[in-house]
């Protein structure tokens, strides 16, 4: 079992690994960022337009679609991994792609998990915009495209949050990518799968060190979101200030 000595040693070793530029750790870290980053970017191209469209349009069965999206947001990673394994194996219907145990399979697994999350959070953010915003845009003569742009601009923080949440989900995922990636050293070993391997081998200090690196990455992403929120709020204040001045001159 891991004791306080292992925890302290793991913390010390984490910073040693970071500042020493350990090739294996850097390779694992960059693979995690690359796989999760690509999955999040691709998921954003799919999920943001999908979530915004569902939120803005009225159509039969909308409540059912929203319920399905909310359900898919809690997809069990091992189920995703198992389903993909069966599809991508040599005897599966997608076996001709030959991407099982590759980073591409890991990206695909994370993409399946990220899309419902980005879609759901975007849908919630757009739906929460006050209906008066749309009414004001229409009263000012905005057409459908401009109306959509105005609403999406109002919901921009929620949309950015959906991407950050998606990235956090992707980079912390372990079950699916271990099944379809194989945890191969120097090829498909990510931070989470490396932590599982080190823990199973009793190398708790190394596992803690990799865990701290993973937490640092999560902190950087959340710091980015916080700074973006602060910047956005300042932009709103400035916009309101100049809008008030403009209105004053018009009244005069």
Q: Give this prediction's pTM.
A: 0.84
207 burial via Cβ count (<10 Å: 0-12, 13-18, 19+): buried
Residue 32: the pLDDT is 93
For the chain, residues with pLDDT lower than 70 are: 1-3, 6, 133-144, 229, 232-252
The predicted pLDDT at position 54 comes to 93
Radius of gyration of the chain measured on its C-alpha atoms:
22
Report the pLDDT value the prediction gives residue 243, as an integer from 0 to 100: 45
Tokens of 47: 């999920």
- Domains of the chain and CATH, by start: 4-237 (1.10.3720.10)
Residue 112, C-beta contacts closer than 8 angstroms, at least 6 positions apart: 75, 80, 84, 176
């Amino acid at each position: 079992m891991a004791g306080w000595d292992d925890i302290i040693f793991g913390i010390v070793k984490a910073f040693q690994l970071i500042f020493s530029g350990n090739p294996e750790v850097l390779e694992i870290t960059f693979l995690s960022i690359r796989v999760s980053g690509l999955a999040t970017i691709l998921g954003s191209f799919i999920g943001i337009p999908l979530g915004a469209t569902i939120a803005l349009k009225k159509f039969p069965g909308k409540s059912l679609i929203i319920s399905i999206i909310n359900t898919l947001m809690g997809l069990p990673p091992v189920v995703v991994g198992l389903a993909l394994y069966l599809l991508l194996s040599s005897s599966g219907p997608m076996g001709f792609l030959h991407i099982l145990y590759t980073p591409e399979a890991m990206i695909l697994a994370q993409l399946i998990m990220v899309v419902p999350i980005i879609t759901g959070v975007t849908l919630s953010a757009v739906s929460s915009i006050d209906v008066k915003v749309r009414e004001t845009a229409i009263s000012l003569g905005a057409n459908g495209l401009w109306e959509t742009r105005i609403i999406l601009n109002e919901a921009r923080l929620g949309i950015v949050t959906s991407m950050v949440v998606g990235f956090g989900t992707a980079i912390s995922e372990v079950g699916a990518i271990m099944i379809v990636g194989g945890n191969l050293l120097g090829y498909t070993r990510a931070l989470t799968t490396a932590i599982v391997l080190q823990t199973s081998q009793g190398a708790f200090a190394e596992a803690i060190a990799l865990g701290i690196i993973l937490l640092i990455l999560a902190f950087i992403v959340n710091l980015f979101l916080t700074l973006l929120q602060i910047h956005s709020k300042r932009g709103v204040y400035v916009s309101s200030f100049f809008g008030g001045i403009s209105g004053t001159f018009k009244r005069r």
